[in-house]
């Protein structure tokens, strides 16, 4: 009843009938692009606001509360202010790379965002190597960060960028391995197939032991991928001033800021899709629970998706505001000597599990 898939398919058929094929497709692409961008920005604003309020709660204080009711308009003020700041031109930097770097970071983030399925029928793109596409396009962000740090012509940013590059490349391995572990269970790289395969119970319940281990590893590695929490050494505020984005000002800095928060959401989104059932409601795979399942499926699918993703985001914020940060060699030690061997072994365990129980 509150699902949007009927609306989407009606719009699609309406356009197809009214206009020639190419025109309808073009309009659809433009519409989807605009919707994605709007959702990207709105989500970023909500996330930043949530972070400030939740971090304040952890620290026994109030967050922004003067600008609009409960401070809800604070982010609008921040956004307008950032748009109006002067963009300082650095004289000795590599101008083309300086300008391109942030677009690379943003594009990587946006393209990954486009692959997420927000609800029934609410998919931007859906093709047969969905997960593979997601894992590979998110690595564009690494290039963006490295270029940003290098082209600023600043020793601090260079150190920050080098650290960041090492960190991101390392943790992509563990993240990728955990996802691949779940692909063994799912049997397909297509995101729709993955979600449909969880219609009766989520993957994390279908293969509890290896899936749980993969889930935890994915959350840790994803956290490190987004330069947040105990892994935020590249932008360590107390050490390197502001890390790789020290020399950016105005809207350029705003874009980095936005991309960071959205990356956090994207990691949560991918974890939701692969481990927690995507937009599928919580179903218990037993006959006595038929009534419960019915009730659960009344809640619209996009509420499920965003609810699960925001739970994971909350977990991410909690970890970030509690723990101190790891040093670069401890970070890399964690990845190469602890997480990666465990992921490899876990993959074997999952393979054995699938053979035995499916």
Partner 1 sequence: MEVKNIKVKSMKPEDFKDTEYLEQYVEELRNNGVGIGLGVLDDFINWSRSHSVWPLTFATACCGIEFMCVGAARTDFARFGWEVTRNSPRQADVIFVAGTIVHKMAPVLKRLYDQMAEPKYVIAVGGCAISGGPFKNSYHVVQGVDKIIPVDVYVPGCPPRPDAMVYGMMQLERKIKVEKFFKLPCRKKEENPSSDNNLSETK
Partner 2 sequence: MKKIKDIISSAASGLTIEEQQYPTVCVSPEQLRKVAQKLKSEGFDVLLNLTGMDYNDKFGVIYHLTSTVDKMAMLVLKVQTPDREKLDIPTVSDIWESANLYEREAYDFFGIRFIGHPDLRRIFLRADWNGFPFRKDYDANPELNPVPLVNQTISDMEDMPTLSFDKDGKLVTKHNQLFENGEYVVNIGPQHPATHGVLHLRVSLEGEIIKKVDPNFGYIHRGIEKMCESKTYPQILQLTERLDYLSGTMNRHAFCLCAEKALGLEVPKRAQAVRVIFDELTRIASHLLGWGCMCMDMGSITAFIYGMRDREKIMDIFEETGGGRLMVGYNVIGGLADEVSDKFISQVKEFIPYMRKMIKEYHVLFSENPIAKGRMQGMGIMTKEQAASLGVTGPSGRASGWSCDVRKIEPYAGYDQVDFEEVLRSGGDTYDRYYIRLDEIEQSLRIIDYLINNLPDDGFKAKTPAIIKLPAGEYYQRVENARGDFGVYINSTGDKNPYRVKFRSPCMTLISALGPLCRNEKIADLIMIGASLDYVIPCADR
Nearer Cβ to partner 2 (197/229) = 229
Least separation in angstroms between CB 165 and partner 2: 14
Q: Which residues of this protein are in contact with partner 2, per CB under 8 A?
A: 58-61, 155-156, 159, 230, 232-233, 236-241, 321-330
Rounded to a whole number of angstroms, the minimum distance from the CB of residue 92 to partner 2 is 17
Torsion of CA 33, 39, 44, 46, to 10 degrees: 170
Q: Give the nearest distance from C-beta 173 to partner 1 in angstroms.
A: 31
Closer Cβ to partner 1, 22 or 238, answer by number: 238
Least distance (Å) between residue 154 CB and partner 2: 10
Residues making contact with partner 1 (CB under 8 A): 52, 56, 59-67, 71, 74, 76-81, 84-88, 237, 241-242, 245-250, 253
Q: Which residues touch 266 (CB under 8 Å, ≥6 apart)? A: 109, 112, 113, 116, 138
In the bound state with partner 1, the residue whose beta carbon lies nearer, of 247 and 260, is 247
State which residue, 59 or 285, has the beta carbon closest to partner 1. 59
Cβ 257 to partner 1 shortest distance, Å: 9
Task: Please name which of 97, 110, 197, 174 lies closest in space to residue 332, comparing C-alpha atoms.
Answer: 174
Q: Which does 13 bind (CB under 5 to 8 A by kind): partner 1, partner 2, none?
A: none
- Among partner 1, partner 2, none, residue 121 binds (CB under 5-8 Å by kind): none
Taking the complex as a whole, how short is the minimal distance between the CB of residue 260 and partner 2, in angstroms?
16
Which of 168/240 has CB closer to partner 2? 240
Q: Which is nearer to partner 2, 206 or 246 (CB)?
A: 246
For residue 329 the two structure tokens come to: 């060699």
| Tokens standing for residue 233 | 């050494």
Cα 223 from Cα 264, distance rounded (Å):
7
- CA-to-CA distance for 244 and 164, rounded, in angstroms? 8
Q: CB of 160: closest distance to partner 2 in angstroms?
A: 11
Q: Which is nearer to partner 1, 215 or 256 (CB)?
A: 256
Which of 8/319 has CB closer to partner 2? 319
Residue 67 interaction partner, one of partner 1, partner 2, none, beta carbon < 5-8 Å per kind: partner 1
197 binds, among partner 2, partner 1, none (CB under 5 to 8 A by kind): none
**Min dist. Cβ of residue 72 to partner 1 (A):** 12
Output the six-digit token pair for 319.
Answer: 């970890």
Backbone phi, psi, residue 331, to 5°: -65, -50
**Contact status, residue 157 vs residue 321, Cβ threshold 8 Å:** no
User: DSSP state, 288?
Assistant: G
Say if CB 264 and CB 44 are below 8 A apart: no
Residue 178's binding partner among partner 2, partner 1, none (Cβ under 5 to 8 angstroms by kind) is: none
Query: Which of partner 1, partner 2, none does 78 bind, CB closer than 5 to 8 A by kind?
Result: partner 1
Give 325-332's long-range contacts (Cβ < 8 A, gap of 24+): 325/229, 325/230, 325/231, 325/232, 325/233, 325/236, 326/230, 326/231, 326/233, 327/233, 328/163, 328/166, 328/167, 328/233, 331/167, 331/170, 331/224, 331/231, 331/233, 332/166, 332/167, 332/170
Say which entry of partner 1, partner 2, none residue 285 contacts (CB below 5 to 8 A, set by partner kind): none
- Tokens, residue 83: 């748009």
Phi, psi angle pair for 239, to nearest 5°: -115, -50
Q: Which does 356 bind (CB under 5 to 8 A by kind): partner 2, partner 1, none?
A: none
């Amino acid at each position: 009843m509150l699902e949007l898939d009927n609306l989407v398919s009606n719009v699609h058929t309406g356009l197809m009938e009214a206009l020639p094929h190419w025109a309808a497709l073009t309009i659809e692409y433009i519409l989807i692009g605009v919707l994605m961008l709007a959702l990207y920005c709105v989500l970023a604003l909500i996330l930043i606001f949530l972070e400030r309020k939740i971090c304040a709660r952890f620290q026994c204080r109030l967050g922004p509360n003067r600008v609009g009711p409960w401070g809800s308009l604070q982010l609008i003020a921040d956004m307008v202010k950032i748009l109006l700041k002067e963009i300082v031109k650095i004289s000795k930097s590599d101008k083309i790379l300086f300008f391109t770097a942030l677009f690379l970071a943003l594009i990587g983030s946006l393209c990954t965002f486009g692959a997420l399925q927000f609800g029934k029928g609410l998919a931007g793109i859906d093709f047969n190597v969905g997960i593979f596409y997601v894992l590979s396009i998110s690595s564009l962000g690494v290039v963006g960060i490295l270029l940003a740090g290098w082209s600023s012509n600043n020793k601090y940013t260079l150190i920050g960028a080098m650290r960041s590059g090492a960190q991101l490349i390392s943790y992509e391995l563990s993240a990728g391995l955990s996802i691949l572990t779940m692909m063994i269970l799912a049997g397909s790289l297509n995101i729709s197939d993955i979600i449909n395969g969880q219609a009766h119970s989520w993957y994390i319940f279908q293969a509890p032991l290896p899936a749980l281990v993969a889930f935890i590893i994915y959350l840790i590695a994803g956290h490190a991928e987004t330069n947040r929490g105990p892994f935020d050494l590249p932008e360590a505020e107390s050490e390197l001033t502001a890390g790789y984005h020290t020399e950016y000002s105005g809207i350029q800095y705003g874009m980095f800021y936005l991309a960071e928060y959205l990356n956090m959401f994207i990691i949560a989104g991918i974890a939701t899709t692969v481990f927690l059932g995507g937009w599928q409601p919580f179903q218990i795979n037993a006959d006595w629970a038929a009534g419960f399942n019915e009730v659960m499926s009344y809640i619209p699918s996009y509420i499920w998706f965003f609810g699960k993703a925001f739970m994971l985001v909350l977990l991410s914020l909690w970890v970030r505001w509690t723990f101190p940060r790891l040093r670069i060699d401890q970070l890399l030690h964690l990845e190469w000597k602890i997480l990666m061997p465990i992921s490899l072994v876990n993959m074997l365990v999952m393979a054995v599990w699938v053979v035995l129980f499916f």
